[in-house]
Amino acid sequence: MTTIEFLGHAGLALEHDGKLLLCDPWMSPQGAYNASWFQYPAYPKDDLSHLLRPDAVYVSHEHPDHYDPWFLSQLPKDTPMITGRFHKRLIKKKLDELGFETVLELNDYESHEIAPDFVVEVVVPSFNCAPHWFDSCAFIRAGEHNIFNLNDANPALELDKLRARGIDVLLAQASPAIWYPLTYTNYQPDELVRLKAARRESAITSFVTAAQSLEPRLAIPFAGPPCFFDEQLTDHFLSPDSMFPTAPVAAARLRETSNIAAEVLKPGDRLHLDGNGGRVEREPAYADFDYERDRTAYFERHKAEKQPIVRAVLDAIPEAEPGLFDRFRRHLRPLIKRNPFFIARVNMRVLFDVQGPHGGKWVVDFRDVPHEELVYEYGGEDCHYRFEFESRNVEQVLRGEMSWEDLLLSLRFRASRDPDRYNQHLFTLLKMADHAALQGVVTAEVALDTHPEDTFTLEAAGCRYEVQRFCPHAGSDLRDGEIVDGKIVCPGHRWHFDLADGACAESDYTIYCRRLDSDASEDPGKR
Ligand code: FES
């Protein structure tokens, strides 16, 4: 017998013939990201004893809504911990620090056997796309059942190969985990509403596209949205135009657009798999709960309990110490100096407006020919990106208590940019802040750039083009893109690439795009 208990957010407890595998159990009463995110809704039982002696735990990646030291520290230290092998080995370091004796960093398609017929195989998304993130997903074989925990992983996967295995249950994210556009101040209110709607739609579409590509017998949307109890952030969750859709919305869209069965689980629900598919045993505590209808009711019911936790976590963050600027400079200068590949692609000044004790306005110079200091006090220079952080949060990053990406995901910062284009290399450099990991990205990007053999032929407005097949952002297949006004629209996150020159309207990327039926000397198609 195989049973999947949903633990909330991206947490799963898979039982098969008496063995237990936990996936991304995020149960902390303090939420995550400095008590910015909380589970929606939370696991309803206080007694977690049935989860505390697993035969293995899979932690997909380092984000604290997946890696929860509060819960993991309650497990026996001889529990095998499974994760992906990333260029930056931060998750391994964290699990080692918790005292786990066996931390298995599995390479792409490498597996761990819990029992002969209960096997976890880790897949690290890096197919035809440079690894600008640390994510993994897990293909789990439990007896006759194939369960694919796609999790937050992006589409850079060999979807055809995975589909061919026959997937019984797919679990995939259907709500965004990103700060854009919520923290950007360069948008008028109506533009912000439009951008949030686009982000919401993109999350739903990603889930539907993944399900349609992988053709499981049953698809389950999960891994979000988070609930924000901090009064500064609450509106992101409660407002009618929230960019965070819930699972029923994504499930309904899948049912409307395909014949694939979709199921919505609530925390505590148990899906019993059998030869005919599955049967859901519902958790009584959430029998009448409706994800969309009950957002406000859930928030009101739990705010008296959660808001003091938010205040306590924020009050416990010490103020920055004197010398913050020197530590900030020592942190970023080596990364800039050692990574000219990234600098050439960022190629602008970025202003860090660090507010609070020992803060200041500091320029990080990513230009090809930078100021010799690289990181220096702002003196009115033109800066195309601007961040506003609290000094004590920057100190947390410099102390190694949280990553830049965790700080960004906390939504406790503001940003603006001019021109209004995403610079993936800037965010990759900040997110990774690690030379080995950045070199991994460089190697992959150079290899993909040097061998553009994976192309396809496209016809648009009477012209034929040879176009790079995989999107450089996160590997979506551009063969599935629509053509709108002379641009190919990526099905992944709807970036627009101009067929005239391959340039992306939303980011610093350019794809290979060559017009086939014109004179080569006039052909602007380039990488
Ligand atoms: S995969 Fe994100 S825009 Fe293409």
The CATH number of domain 324-435 is 3.30.70.260: no
Closest-lying ligand 1 atom to the alpha carbon of residue 474: 1
CB atoms within 10 A of CB 440: 19
Atom of ligand 1 nearest to the CA of 476: 1
CB contact at 8 A, 479 and 495: no
Residue type, 194: R
CA of 9 to the centre of ligand 1 (A): 24
| Dist. CA 357–CA 320, nearest whole Å | 6
pTM (whole model) above 0.75 = yes
Residues with CB under 6 A from ligand 1: 471, 473-474, 476, 490, 492-493, 495
Q: Tell me, what's the pLDDT at 517? A: 79
Distance in Å, CA 475 to ligand 1 centroid: 6
Q: What is the CATH number of domain 452-522?
A: 2.102.10.10
Task: Give the Cα separation of 168 and 2 in Å (integer).
Answer: 12
Is 138:122 a contact under the CB 8 Å cutoff?
yes
At 215-252, the pLDDT tens digits run 999 999 999 999 999 999 999 999 999 999 999 999 99
Mutate to test the pocket of ligand 1, among 126, 206, 422, 490 (most ligand atoms within 8 A of CB): 490
Which CATH class for the 2-312 domain? Answer: alpha beta
Domain ranges of the chain: 2-312, 324-435, 452-522
Rg of the chain over Cα atoms, rounded to whole angstroms, equals: 23
CA 242 / ligand 1 centre spacing (Å): 22
In the reported structure, the alpha carbon of residue 477 is separated from the centroid of ligand 1 by a whole-number distance in angstroms of 9
Task: Calculate how far, in angstroms, residue 478's C-alpha sits from the geometric centre of ligand 1.
Answer: 9
- Whether 468 and 157 have beta carbons less than 8 Å apart is answered as no
CA of 180 to the centre of ligand 1 (A): 15
Convert 82-112 to b/e letters by CB count within 10 Å (16 or more is b).
Answer: bbbbbbbbbbbebbeeeebeebbbbebebbb
Identify which of 180, 427, 477, 493 to mutate to test ligand 1's pocket (most ligand atoms within 8 A of the CB): 493
Model pLDDT for residues 331-351, shown as the tens digit of each residue: 999 999 888 899 889 999 999
Residue 68 gets which letter from DSSP? -
Mutate which of 471, 477, 504, 509 for ligand 1? The one with the most ligand atoms within 8 Å of its CB, which is 471
Per-residue pLDDT of the chain (527 residues; tens, 9 = 90+): 899 999 999 999 999 999 999 999 999 999 999 999 999 999 999 999 999 999 999 999 999 999 999 999 999 999 999 999 888 888 999 999 999 999 999 998 999 999 999 999 999 876 667 777 778 999 999 999 999 999 987 767 888 899 999 999 999 999 999 999 999 999 999 999 999 999 999 899 989 989 999 999 999 999 999 999 999 999 999 999 999 999 999 999 999 999 999 999 999 999 999 877 789 999 999 999 999 999 999 999 999 999 999 999 999 999 999 999 999 999 999 999 888 899 889 999 999 999 999 999 999 999 987 778 899 999 999 999 999 999 999 999 999 999 999 999 999 999 999 999 999 999 999 988 888 889 888 888 887 776 556 889 999 989 999 998 888 888 888 998 999 999 999 988 889 999 999 999 988 888 989 898 765 444 434 33
Position 522 scores a pLDDT of 40
Q: Which atom of ligand 1 is nearest to the CA of 154?
A: 1
